[in-house]
Amino acid sequence: MMTRKIVAALAALAFALPTAAYAEDAPLEQQLVDAMNKVFGVHAGFRANHAKGVVVEGRFKPSAEAATLSKASLFSGGEIPVTVRFSDSTGVPNLPDGSDDANPHGMAVKFRLADGSDMDIVINSLKFFPVSTAAELRDLFLAIADSGPNAAKPTKLEQFIGSHPSVPAALGTIATPDSFANEGYFGVNAFVLVNKQGARQAIRYQMLPEKVVHLDKAEAAKRAPDYLMAELPARLKQGPVTFRFMAQLAAAGDDTKDPAKPWPDDRKLVELGVVTIDKAVADSDAAQKKLLFLPSQLPDGIEASDDPMIDIRSAAYAISFSRRNP
């Protein structure tokens, strides 16, 4: 049932839009951006995925415990500024915020480090990823693009979902929030914290709100098309919004390579600090065009894990950035 609904929603999205060129011999990161363009259409000036978003500003205050896990300057000093972009999924810039396809919602955080460099995290509301590798994500997008209303049954997408049970399982972890402030965001890919003694700890990020509030589908469909983008700036005029920045610690034997495999719920969660969002930026549309968040932009003391998806993500984000800022 769940699977059928997902197939129908994704296939309808693909065929409402013009398609784009796709080159099979291009590097994987380019194939990924092309496959996204094929499903979502090309929209000049917008991101290939998570096209619709809102930019806000605030600060990060590290916890004392964070410095025991990582020597990164992020955790050793006082409060630092952050720029945060919340987003809807898909490359469709005018998608209604209450649409099912707007899930998973995204949160990208740029930590402005004292030495003038940045560290980025790019996370979303899926508790784990639908597929294990970047190549599988490309194949999923290509299957969606090939599964329009006239496609022979079972469609490519039905076949892909049938052979990848992690797709419906992951999509089953998301729901539409009533506010970007009332959603939890998960890093999915593993990173490694390195402390002053050289001890290494694999972790996955979480950003936990004060509370999670999800809407049922009928309620979400009734909301104004831009309700999420409008609500956050309005809420911030009343007061700040906070998130606890957490690290879920891997235990020996936990898979750090496969973002589709969640770690057990009883793994220790350590609070790395608190992100406080104070205000919307003056011109969010102009700000988001210029912003580029890269999952592998990391300071000394935080490293990518052995998950190859992290570097491919950064390469794909850079391609998308260069296309939206020609």
Give the nearer residue to ligand HEM in terms of CB position, either 227 or 293.
Answer: 293
d(CA 191, CA 259): 11
Give the nearer residue to ligand HEM in terms of CB position, either 7 or 134.
Answer: 134
DSSP-H helix ranges across the chain: 2-15, 28-40, 66-69, 73-76, 134-145, 156-163, 166-171, 217-222, 227-238, 284-290, 309-324
Q: Which of 75, 166, 293, 297 binds ligand HEM (CB under 6 A)?
A: 293
In whole angstroms, the minimum distance from the beta carbon of 198 to ligand HEM comes to: 28
Closest to 132 in 3D by CA, of 91, 88, 185, 169: 169
- Asked if 106 touches ligand HEM (CB under 6 A), the answer is yes
Give the nearer residue to ligand HEM in terms of CB position, either 71 or 110.
Answer: 110
Chain centroid, CA 3 distance in Å: 22
Q: Which of 10, 13, 14, 53 binds ligand HEM (CB under 6 A)?
A: 53
Give the nearer residue to ligand HEM in terms of CB position, either 22 or 195.
Answer: 22
Give the nearer residue to ligand HEM in terms of CB position, either 108 or 161.
Answer: 108
- Asked if 15 touches ligand HEM (CB under 6 A), the answer is no
Burial annotation 252-272 (CB, 10 A radius, 16+ → b, else e): eebbbebbbebbeeeeebbbb
Of the candidate spans 167-175, 249-257, 298-306, 307-315, the one that interacts with ligand HEM by CB under 6 A turns out to be 307-315
Q: Which of 38, 71, 85, 110 binds ligand HEM (CB under 6 A)?
A: 85
49, 137, 139, 168, 319 from 164: Cα distances, Å: 22, 11, 11, 8, 28
Going residue by residue from 200 to 219, which x/- string records binding to ligand HEM, judged by CB under 6 A?
Answer: --------------------
Please work out the total of residues on this chain that contact ligand HEM, with binding judged by CB under 6 A. 32
277 with 245: CB under 8 angstroms? no
Helix (H, G, I), strand (E, B) or coil at 217: helix
Q: Which of 11, 134, 175, 232 binds ligand HEM (CB under 6 A)?
A: 134
- Asked if 35 touches ligand HEM (CB under 6 A), the answer is no
Report the Cα–Cα distance between both ends of the chain, in Å, rounded: 43
- Asked if 47 touches ligand HEM (CB under 6 A), the answer is yes
194 with 234: CB under 8 angstroms? no
208 with 183: CB under 8 angstroms? no
- Asked if 229 touches ligand HEM (CB under 6 A), the answer is no
Q: Give me the residues that bind ligand HEM (CB under 6 A), please.
A: 32-33, 47-50, 53, 85, 87, 106, 108, 122-124, 129, 134, 137, 187-189, 259, 291-293, 309, 312-313, 316-317, 320-321, 324
